Amino acid sequence: MNVFLNKIKKAKPLFFLQVVFFLIPFGGSLIPPVIILLVISILIFSKKEGWFDNFLKGKSYYLPLIGLFFIYMIGITWSDNVPNAFKKIEHVLSFLIFPIFIPFLNLTPKSIIQLFKIFVYGCMLILIISFLDFIYVSLSTDEYIILGEIAAGNRPGSVYEYLSQQFLIVPVHRTYFSIYLIICVAFILYYFNEYCTFYRKKIKLLGVFSLVLITAAMICIQSKAGLGLLILLVASFFIIKVKKTFWSVVLLIVFFLGSLVLFKSILNYRFKPMIEEIKYILSPGNDNEKDYAKFLRPGSTEIRYMVYKSSFQLIEKAPFLGYGTGDVKDVLRTQNEKNNFVSIAHLNYGPHSQFLYILIAFGFLGLLVFISIFFFPILESFRMKDYFALSILIVIFLSGLTESVLIRQEGIIPISLFITILGRLKTNFRTL
């Protein structure tokens, strides 16, 4: 009887943690209640005596996250938009909750690998249904409808627009989902045998199928940064792990060239406008006199240029402490108006870079804390030659250069959870 009760106590927190990992790629409002149940189950069922030892072993992963949370807290004191600042505090609670409560759990390397495996299964389920849905729409309708993009409502669009904006069946922005998929690729590559083991049977075709499906999905989603990071991840894996380097590199090159040929039209649709926009931005003339500043619906690269320019101007004015926790979008909108960027001045845009976001909010003090949540874990992972953890940390870090990955729960929850779990993996690390 005691053995049975001990199994229940051990399984309940782990079960809720597994549910969180599975639900992450689905987004939505289901995850916070499950996190609350996870915390309650940890408080009720977990042993308390091992917490301090676990926390100390993973402190290089946990303390920077907690420090970033307190930077958000302190930033309220010089924020003008206090209500929005308190909303931000609520959003980043994961920075505090996961590092405090995950060390209570007795997680083994095997159970941690199982968590990431569940996460990959969730992503794969979404991709399979998304592809089936796209096939159904293609066969059953005469045109692709882009939903709610203009004031008049829905409009017909090209297949490339549809794939970019509505391929995924979940309400998760493609930027975040691209990060999820790259993490999936990292897990499958570094733990291929574990991923392919299904009911004690090794099915290598499952791993190959998953990698092909994810690559196709990444091209369909059309995240430029995501595709670049995917190529970087796969190339680094072959350099680090694969012994038969020559033939592996040949196969890798053939695979990517084949993908480029197969999806040439999609890639051309996505990358050609970016090149044209960069040429126009660099052409002679004042920024506020060019079309992207005067007319509505500028291109994505042009938008980034404008918000980057305004962001750097703001940082120059308040370099040390920034403008406070709740004021980033407010001051950026004001700066866009001063720059006469009519096309975006009325919009509530962020800086499209987590580094710039932190600098605007908290200055260089906040930037040091933000960088530390990656710097110390990366050092630990490199020292232990844990290339899976290293890949995840570098992918998230680089994603923050071109995206504000910590302004939505879709980024905040998984990133803080993954870093914390990697800290537990480091605590009990061994070569599998």
| Residues 241 and 306 occupy one common structural domain | no
Evaluate whether 360 touches 307 at the Cβ level (below 8 Å).
Answer: no
Residue 253 lies in a domain: yes
Residue 1 lies in a domain: no
- Choose between 293 and 244: higher pLDDT: 293
Residue 143 lies in a domain: yes
The CA–CA distances, whole Å, from 378 to 178, 382, 388, 389, 400 equal 21, 6, 11, 8, 15
Closest CA to 75 of 407, 359, 401, 408: 359
Residue 39 lies in a domain: no
Evaluate whether 146 touches 165 at the Cβ level (below 8 Å).
Answer: yes
> Looking at the chain, how many residues does it have?
432
Q: 366: which 2 tokens?
A: 């906040």
| Residues 124 and 181 occupy one common structural domain | yes
Final residue belonging to a domain, choices 247, 265, 283: 283
Final residue belonging to a domain, choices 232, 255, 283: 283
Final residue belonging to a domain, choices 227, 250, 283: 283
**What pLDDT is stored for residue 424 in this prediction?**
86
Cα(82)–Cα(26) distance, integer angstroms: 31
- Choose between 262 and 300: higher pLDDT: 300
How would DSSP label each residue in 355-419? HHHHHHHHHHHHHHHHHHHHHHHHHHHHHHT-HHHHHHHHHHHHHHHHS-TTSSHHHHHHHHHHH
Contacts of 12 (CB under 8 A, 6+ apart): 41, 44, 45
| Residues 266 and 123 occupy one common structural domain | yes
| Residues 326 and 415 occupy one common structural domain | yes
| Residues 72 and 160 occupy one common structural domain | no
**What pLDDT is stored for residue 201 in this prediction?**
80
The CA–CA distances, whole Å, from 406 to 108, 352, 410 equal 28, 11, 8
Question: Can you give the residue range of the structural domain that contains 229?
Answer: 109-283
**What pLDDT is stored for residue 237 in this prediction?**
87
| Residues 273 and 409 occupy one common structural domain | no
**What pLDDT is stored for residue 224 in this prediction?**
84
Residue 144 lies in a domain: yes
80: number of Cβ within 10 Å: 12
Q: 67: which 2 tokens?
A: 């420090």
**What pLDDT is stored for residue 104 in this prediction?**
93
| Residues 232 and 118 occupy one common structural domain | yes
**What pLDDT is stored for residue 99 in this prediction?**
96
Closest CA to 90 of 325, 322, 360: 325
| Residues 76 and 127 occupy one common structural domain | no
Residue 85 lies in a domain: yes
| Residues 126 and 259 occupy one common structural domain | yes
**What pLDDT is stored for residue 429 in this prediction?**
52
Rounded percentage of the chain residues whose pLDDT exceeds 90:
61
**pLDDT, tens digit (0-9, with 9 covering 90-100), for 9-42:** 555 899 999 999 999 999 988 899 999 999 999 9
Average pLDDT score over residue span 167-179: 93
Residue 346 lies in a domain: yes
| Residues 251 and 279 occupy one common structural domain | yes
Residue 349's identity, in one-letter code, is: Y
Q: How confident is the model at residue 3 (pLDDT cuts 50, 70, 90)?
A: very low
| Residues 353 and 390 occupy one common structural domain | yes
Evaluate whether 51 touches 104 at the Cβ level (below 8 Å).
Answer: yes
| Residues 271 and 318 occupy one common structural domain | no
Domain count of the chain?
A: 2
Start-to-end Cα distance in the chain: 33
**pLDDT, tens digit (0-9, with 9 covering 90-100), for 104-142:** 998 888 999 999 999 999 999 999 999 999 999 999 988
Question: Mean pLDDT of all residues in the chain?
Answer: 88
For 61-122, the three-class secondary structure string (H helix, E strand, C coil) is: HHHHHHHHHHHHHHHHHHCCCHHHHHHHHHHCCHHHHHHHHHHHCCCCHHHHHHHHHHHHHH
Residue 94's identity, in one-letter code, is: S
**What pLDDT is stored for residue 2 in this prediction?**
47
Residue 5 lies in a domain: no
